Structure 1
Amino acid sequence: IGSRKWLAVSGYGLSALSKPFFYIAGSWGAVAAVRWADRIGKGIRTAPRDALVADSVRKGRRGLAFGIHRAADSAGAVVGLLIALYLVSSIQPHEVELRAATFRTLVLWSLIPAFLAVLALAVGARDVPRPAASKEAGSQDSEAQTSDSQDLTPGSPANQAEGSGRAGGRARDHLGRPFWIFLGIVAIFELGNSSDGFLVLRAQERGLGVTGVLAMLVAFNLVYSLVSAPAGHLSDRFDRRRFIVAGWLVYAALYASFALAQSTAQVVVTFILYGAYYGLSYGTARALVAELVPAEIRGTAYGLFNATVGILSLPASLLAGLLWQGLGSWHGFGPAAPFWLGAGTALVAAVGLMVWRPAGPEPR
């Protein structure tokens, strides 16, 4: 549609508009519907947002840019969780279960940053002119295509419209084999990457209450925030795959620790360290995607990447639930099983990424 910014704004807007309905939701079906709308908003915004980040910086700074983005996101989560921790500890200091009234109070507070984020993006962000995909557009197009470092070079509006029109169908054919191989490796990892809610359930199973869970999430996001920017910056200097592999190996080790944990303290420490996995791999993987495809089809690439991650989260979580508690007369393999599965798929994906050598220059 020619505007990544407004597509991202619409996604954030849908998520923000859905949040007030949590306040009045009176059944699990209503909560599921509101949650569904919120996730649709996330699906709409994520790909254009990632493409905006990639377009806004030169190649040698993308890892840092995505790292800063993730660090800021996690820092915001820390502030939000600290507010939630204060509210919960004030309203129900000694209770394990979250009261409905407390939940509604948290919903009201969450509306403030949700709508401020939409306003900040709408006012502060801008679309970056992109090089046209077709060589037939003439000398102006070819000038914009000479180097990846010229992503910020503005072209005439007419030239961009003409190029994007001709690129439409052909662009999706030019994602290239390296991108599809990387996407396949990511899919292997995601098959065992169930919802982080299972980690919280593991902590609660070991006796952690509501305020303890919130404090644990604060520490997790703090680690995530502190690791993201340095890891992204280093990935600009070295092969990005090393950092993704490191993140997946950390994930495998920590999931094995979740499976073996016998005490609340073990689960809490493991969960806090889990932030290092996100910091090492989350932003770095998205920086790598930007370098595996032409600039004019990054939106398509990010759409496919995030769709793969999002779609596979459902079967991964369903499988984790079945392994944990079974179905019907079958009682499953117990709480440790989904974590062993996650550790195994992470190891397989890490090995696959280590042996993969994309054509051309090493991705950085």
Structure 2
Amino acid sequence: MTKVILVLSFVSFFADISSEMLYPIMPVFLASIGFGALGIGALEAMAKLIAGLGKSWFGSLSDQLDRRLPFVRIGYLLSALAKPVMGLLPYASIVFAARSVDRVGKGMRGSARDAMLVAASKPADRGKVFGFHRGMDTLGAVVGPILALIYLQYRPEDYASIFIIAFAPGLVGVALTFTLPRETPVPTSTGPIRPLKGIFAFWRKASPQYRRILLGILLFALLNSTDMLLLLRAADAGLSPAEVIGAYILYNLVYATLSLPFGILSDRIGFRTVYLISVLVFATCYLGMGLATAQWMIWGIFILYGVFTAANEGTSKPWLSLHIPKETRATGLGLAGFLDMVCLALASLLAGLGWEISSGSALFIGVGSLAFFAFFLLLFIFPTQPKTP
């Protein structure tokens, strides 16, 4: 592992401690200030759209300027600064605004960081590199909720203070970005900087393999709504707030543990195979969540959901990167991230609406059934993957 890979992985580790201290308490916190299931779905839909648009726009801008570090640094800083605002001013409109700034930061850094990871890896070990980075990122998602859980043992229901505390690890992550090697940019364009034009230019030249992989990923994303609804379903099934956080910690522990092994496996048997396996696991999780009648079942499903995420999250980016030219790497990954987020946002909004109209149980059974059907569609949509040299 090179210095760039290690530093970026530790930056993500601290940033995720900051973010994931908040994520498992977010549904309860939002409910306390007036959000229902539909409101939570709408908030997460908005957040995903902003992050996705940022990935595409800033990814293209990063390619045209041939700069990565400024986007990474400023992106992490914006996300760190947004978190305490939600705790200090817990009003619906302020939370919407702060969450938006947080997601702008995520969109700004995402494509540039991923391009740096691709540049620091070889095609033969790209799955391993992304798996390691994802594992470190998710390890932060284990530590964060544990810290939140410990705090709530002493200060029950003091959710607002956790948002303020979360600022500290986020700031550590920002500081670490200043240990990355300096860049020597060679801009790819001598004319005006036009990110939108760069995005359209990339799409016109995109390979058929890139387009087919992206089509399959987007189809599945239409089913994969916000994980906050999983936490809401766990609470609905009788888990206490502390138990919901515990289940989320367990999920992330499985996710972090298996990310690197699945990355190595994808290098050996192909990204296509691992991605398809993840879709089957997802379908099983959602059906199980809808049919669960006991709390132990919920705990088991969170373990299995960690298996799904480990297999799925570290697969799409390195797979797509194999079909993106070096000079448009951030643009290609950013465009995929944007379209993926649009579909995830739509899925979150529809899932929240479906919950309000019917019930959480019916929603998960329906989505799980559709995911099994999607698996067979993806068998035909995804191109076969030649062995990585």
Distance verdict in 2 for CA 1:198–1:300, change over 3 Å: same
Structure 1 portions without partners, runs of 5+: 93-98, 130-156, 327-331
Match of 1:256 among 257, 276, 287: 287
The answer to which of 262-271 and 58-67 deviates more is 262-271
The answer on whether the counterparts of 1:202 and 1:267 sit within 8 Å (CA) in structure 2 is no
The answer on whether the counterparts of 1:190 and 1:313 sit within 8 Å (CA) in structure 2 is yes
Match of 2:104 among 30, 40, 43: 40
Equivalent residue for 2:376?
A: 351
Distance verdict in 2 for CA 1:201–1:234, change over 3 Å: same
For the pair 1:282 / 2:313, whether they are aligned, the reply is yes
SS across alignment from 1:279? helix
Equivalent residue for 1:191?
A: 222
Compute the displacement of 1:125 (Å). 5.3
- Larger Rg over CA atoms: 1
Distance verdict in 2 for CA 1:355–1:125, change over 3 Å: farther
The answer on whether the counterparts of 1:250 and 1:277 sit within 8 Å (CA) in structure 2 is yes
Larger RCO, structures 1/2 (Cα 8 Å, 6+ apart) = 2
The answer on whether the counterparts of 2:215 and 2:381 sit within 8 Å (CA) in structure 1 is no
Identity percentage of aligned residues:
31
Distance verdict in 2 for CA 1:261–1:363, change over 3 Å: farther
Match of 2:178 among 122, 128, 136: 122
Instruction: Name the amino acid aligned to 1:355.
Output: F
For the pair 1:62 / 2:126, whether they are aligned, the reply is yes
Compute the displacement of 1:356 (Å). 4.0
Equivalent residue for 2:66?
A: 2
Q: How many residues align?
A: 319
Structure 2 portions without partners, runs of 5+: 1-64, 192-196
Instruction: Name the amino acid aligned to 1:87.
Output: Y
The answer on whether the counterparts of 1:188 and 1:348 sit within 8 Å (CA) in structure 2 is no
- CA distance in 2 between counterparts of 1:170 and 1:305 reads 14
- CA distance in 1 between counterparts of 2:74 and 2:203 reads 23
Distance verdict in 2 for CA 1:357–1:212, change over 3 Å: closer
Give me the CA root mean square deviation: 2.2
Distance verdict in 2 for CA 1:165–1:113, change over 3 Å: same
Instruction: Name the amino acid aligned to 1:226.
Output: T
- After the TM superposition, which segments of 4 or more aligned residues of structure 1 sit over 6 Å from their partners? none
Compute the displacement of 1:60 (Å). 0.8
Equivalent residue for 1:113?
A: 169
The answer on whether the counterparts of 1:67 and 1:228 sit within 8 Å (CA) in structure 2 is yes
| TM-score, scaled relative to structure 2 | 0.77
The answer on whether the counterparts of 1:183 and 1:305 sit within 8 Å (CA) in structure 2 is yes
- CA distance in 2 between counterparts of 1:180 and 1:249 reads 22
Equivalent residue for 2:343?
A: 312
Compute the displacement of 1:26 (Å). 3.2
- CA distance in 2 between counterparts of 1:165 and 1:342 reads 48
Instruction: Name the amino acid aligned to 2:172.
Output: L
- CA distance in 2 between counterparts of 1:27 and 1:170 reads 42
- CA distance in 1 between counterparts of 2:376 and 2:155 reads 48
Match of 2:269 among 238, 247, 255: 238
Instruction: Name the amino acid aligned to 2:131.
Output: G
Equivalent residue for 1:88?
A: 152
Instruction: Name the amino acid aligned to 2:111.
Output: A
Equivalent residue for 1:329?
A: none
Compute the displacement of 1:241 (Å). 0.6
Distance verdict in 2 for CA 1:69–1:125, change over 3 Å: farther
The answer on whether the counterparts of 1:172 and 1:297 sit within 8 Å (CA) in structure 2 is no
- CA distance in 2 between counterparts of 1:292 and 1:338 reads 36
- CA distance in 1 between counterparts of 2:92 and 2:213 reads 37
Compute the displacement of 1:124 (Å). 2.3
Instruction: Name the amino acid aligned to 1:296.
Output: E
SS across alignment from 2:268? coil
The answer to which of 71-80 and 1-10 deviates more is 1-10
